[in-house]
Structure 1
Amino acid sequence: MIPYLTTDHVSAFGDLGVALAALFAAWQGVKSLNAWRAERLGGRKIELAEDGLTQFYKIEHAFQAIRSPFGDASESADRDVEDHESPAERHGRDLGQATWKRLQAKQVTFEDFYVLGLQLKAHFGEEIYEECQAMRRCFARIRTAAQMMYSTPYEGYEDKNFRRRLEADIWNMDSDDPDSIEMKVQNAVKVAERILGKELR
């Protein structure tokens, strides 16, 4: 015997159809939302990679400007010279002040870079953030060297190697020493190009 359909059966089938249609619409909505979110995050990541790599290049250029061995006498012309300064003190203080003024002129560039470093860490991981920190340590080394040169003793530094290390941190010497600032900066840029550059290809 073939069962017959009642209005209740038809109504139940209708309700089931509406429920299935709602579930399908919800599934499609979630799928579309996920696709939109992935596309948006992907676009944001590309923008951040481009901005990050550009900032690494800007920092590299800033270091070159700060550490240029070619200076201008006006960089230390406004320094208050004390009568008792020896030639060694005068030279050290002039060099220290000139370097300090260059650091101050690039301060905002470095501050922006340090903030960006946290965003890069969130999206690209610890390796890229470590290179941001390496740049920060290089900045601190130059600042410390400038302060030490400004505090040159009357007779100058008796430890000639110590003085050379200070000057090497202040001036770009094109050194191939892995511990030199120029090599650390170059290495940081190479890592940034490897990690961030692939997002732009």
Structure 2
Amino acid sequence: MNYTEIDWKLIFDILKSISIITASCVAIYGINSWRREARWKRKYELAEEVLSNMYEAHQAIKIIRSPIGLGSEGSSREKSENEIKEQTEIFNQAYVTRERFQRNKKPIEKLQSLKFRFITVYGKDYEKYFDKFSQTINRIFSASDLIAMVKLGQFEHDKEFKLQIMKENNKVLYNVFKGEDEIEKELNNAITAIEDKCRAVIGKNN
């Protein structure tokens, strides 16, 4: 038996095994690296989409709360048969917020769908910041309805209470240009919390 031939064959087999092991390690590392890259990319895209959509939703709420409007706003409301002119004006005015919401609801509704993706990745602690937007819309609708009730003669027996309702709900219904706007403050706090998380992912610490 030729020992030299056996030695070379053994060496060849060892080298072949090493090359296979090396190739496997490289492949595994490549797959893991690709997975990390894909996972980071998904997080990046989600953070970017959530942040831009939250800005759009914020702008939509500003439009809904604008004290400046057109005389024809609210007129798309379906009137009841027994309404008198004064009632129609009050009901139409109360309906303005709902008309504006219908025209600007897309980013607000989309934000709610993005919420579930976001909290799946980052946890339910962030849910409350998304919910602040839908809660704000409900508060605006409620404020509009309460103001209409006062104008229609409700709470007439208590003028002090009536004035208080008008004052508090006007602050919710309309943007406050002088003094502190509580609605804006709450929305900005929610945006800041999501911004901090998203910018850490996006990599823009502005």
User: Relative to 1, partners in 2 of residues 1:151 and 1:85: Cα closer, same or farther, differing over 3 Å?
Assistant: farther
Number of residues paired by the alignment?
A: 195
Give the structure 1 partner of residue 115 of structure 2: 117
Pair 7,195 (structure 1): closer, same or farther in 2 beyond 3 Å:
same
1:64 corresponds in structure 2 to 62
Rounded Cα–Cα distance in structure 1 between residues aligned with 2:154 and 2:170: 13
Residues 150 and 166 in structure 2, CA contact (< 8 A), matched pair in contact too = no
Identity level (%): 22
TM-score, length-scaled by structure 1 = 0.80
Q: How does 1:129-148 map to 2 (within 5 A)?
A: 129-148=127-146
Question: Is the contact made by 1:114 and 1:132 (CA closer than 8 Å) also made in structure 2?
Answer: yes
Q: Which runs of 5+ in 2 are unaligned?
A: none
Matches within 5 A, 1:4-153: 5=3, 14-79=12-77, 80=79, 85=84, 87=86, 89-90=87-88, 92-151=90-149
Uncovered stretches (5+) of structure 1, i.e. residues with no partner: none
1:153 is displaced (CA, Å) by 6.8
AA partner of residue 21 (structure 2): L
The root-mean-square deviation of aligned C-alpha atoms, in Å, is 2.8
**Aligned partners of 1:126, 1:181: CA distance in 2, in Å?**
23
Structure showing greater relative contact order (alpha-carbon pairs closer than 8 Å, 6 or more residues apart): 1
Q: Which amino acid aligns with 2:197?
A: I
Secondary structure at 1:74 match in 2: coil
TM-score by length of 2: 0.78
1:89-122: CA deviations, max 9, x gaps?
A: 4554222111111111122221111111222222
Task: Flag the 1:188–1:122 CA change in 2: closer, same or farther, 3 A.
Answer: same
Could you say which residue in structure 1 is the equivalent of 2:153?
A: 155
